[in-house]
Structure 1
């Protein structure tokens, strides 16, 4: 049986009264769209990140789409990012009419290899989109230096890095804007879809608010810029407000799980996560690596353990992105990692018993592989 679905159920049982109270609060308020819960969450989420502006939207993909558009990215432009990410990162670029341009990842962390970015910049480049993957941050200081040199904005993809820090700075506070997803599995997850884009730039904030509401500004039914219907739901916002107060506790629990895994697999040939210098990892997923990955996963099924792979197919190898022209071997580090990585159960409500079950099964398989 897969362990991943248990995280939501265990968390819900623990927080059920608060979650149901949140729903009731919204339904009794009489304001179901862009009401006090969205406004409250936006203010509190912005404050958590030390920035003045947060715009709640309907999902993490649109948080990136609106972020890119608010920064002026559009048809004919290029956005530099990575292929080792969830497809929505790249789909969001495509939805603006821009072209994704990939650089490879660092072999130890699987994060954007910043040393490759400058060579990928062309006269059409309009934005750099680093993905803070698996729970830790891209090396932002050299990336910002490149961005400043070429006059380019940075949009951080923070969907997997709620609360992560890089040399003391929290993910989402280092670029011109940052996009978040609140999909239920995230470190800060809603009970459905949700997203947000944060910024310290008042102009970008104004653009975001206009874009999420059809492109309307001060006068209803008057569109100044074609936009979207992309509003964060009041119910999800109220749930997120309450869960935000527990975010640091969720992170602490995840770090305890990660510490136990690291201890359990020390001395084996399983490669456990590497935290980059200056990073404070939040372990959205706990990604390990082994050259016999597929054989290990198949053997684990005999122990009743089914594990996930994040991600088995790099974006540039998928048929839906064949038009980008990246052939096999174009991003060798990304491709090699995709053949060997897999994820161990990781969520804040994971019990010690369930974790030990995974550890015992995997250690048993590793001893015979």
Structure 2
């Protein structure tokens, strides 16, 4: 039996081959491969698509998180970052790189997204920022979080949206990336808007923060060779990736609709003993994730029928052996849901280039499972 993969990037290439080859030739022939017109054009287009004023391209999504945190966590007395432990370690990595302390709060089981009440309970005088991850392509109600922080007396705490899995996501009156002080995106190839290599961006409606981001992603320069800001680095979105992303942007809405239709088909398959992870505020189906009490048994059932599975993500940040002994804190309400869920989550294939026959096959495999 032919295996149905979690993703197949070659299919994406073949689908857009003519455009991608033309773009490659044009960019390479221009001799302008860094910080050129394609970069500027894509950033304008992506900012407009997200309804945000400023977009600054960077080298990858991890750099975006690090630079965003450097921009807003500037008070030596406020070095804690409230975040979740179930989102793959990316925010924690950024915190470790610049000496910040992650404070982990729990998630809502049905969505696997940060619990707003527990976030507010973990915020205090040492909080420098809150990072909200729109995990699996599900929207966190950031306006509700902002209102809750304001009511608790923490209106000045910056919010960073991690939108690495949320390109084109809309809900709560706007789009993911338009709610926070800053928003970070990754354009890793498997993302809803993915390039043919690494890439990332930081978005904001604040002109001063946009200027700060632009300096930090280019050595801290104000002008060439003129370092005015400490903590800068070299992190640029190259011309080739920017041009590829601009071409893919016009397909984003249709691709997201295809992802959601795949998940809808899976839901309708009559699956037994599993719950589909979903946000009530909006989704773009970055991943199709279930919760089940016997993950190994379900994975074995699907694998035997040629359906690939994966776990996003199998280890909580606070339990990573490489960070053993590093400074961290658990919020006052604990992370019981996160600990329970990390043993129950399982991802199944969901990407726009899946064929109808493959979708039907996954539906049959899911429908034949009995808890």
Query: What TM-score do you get using the length of structure 1 for normalisation?
Result: 0.93
Q: CA deviation at 1:358?
A: 2.0
2:349 is the alignment partner of 1:348: no
Determine if contact 1:217/1:224 at 8 Å carries over to the other structure. Answer: yes
Q: CA deviation at 1:222?
A: 1.9
> What pairs up with 1:324-343 in 2 under 5 angstroms?
324=327, 330-343=334-347
Q: Secondary structure at the match of 1:231?
A: coil
Q: Hey, what's the Cα distance between the residues in 2 that align with 1:306 and 1:127?
A: 37
2:180 is the alignment partner of 1:175: yes
Partner of 2:135: 133
Matching residue within 358, 361, 367 for 1:357: 361
Q: Secondary structure at the match of 1:193?
A: coil
Partner of 2:110: 108
2:321 is the alignment partner of 1:319: yes
Q: CA deviation at 1:75?
A: 6.3
- Name the structure where strand makes up a greater proportion of residues: 2
Determine if contact 1:147/1:153 at 8 Å carries over to the other structure. Answer: no
Partner of 1:195: 200
Larger deviation: 89-98 or 151-160?
Answer: 89-98
1:173-200 deviations in Å (ceiling 9; x for gaps): 0011100000001000011100000000
Q: CA deviation at 1:2?
A: 5.4
Partner of 1:59: 60
Determine if contact 2:183/2:203 at 8 Å carries over to the other structure. Answer: yes
Partner of 1:78: 80
Q: How large is the RMSD of aligned CA atoms in angstroms?
A: 1.8
Q: Hey, what's the Cα distance between the residues in 2 that align with 1:6 and 1:165?
A: 24
Matching residue within 209, 221, 226 for 1:222: 226
Structure 1 residues 5 and 115, CA gap change in structure 2 (3 angstroms): closer
Partner of 1:96: 98
Q: Hey, what's the Cα distance between the residues in 2 that align with 1:32 and 1:274?
A: 40
Determine if contact 2:136/2:285 at 8 Å carries over to the other structure. Answer: yes
Q: Secondary structure at the match of 1:213?
A: coil
Q: CA deviation at 1:107?
A: 1.4
Q: Secondary structure at the match of 2:261?
A: helix
Structure 1 residues 88 and 130, CA gap change in structure 2 (3 angstroms): same
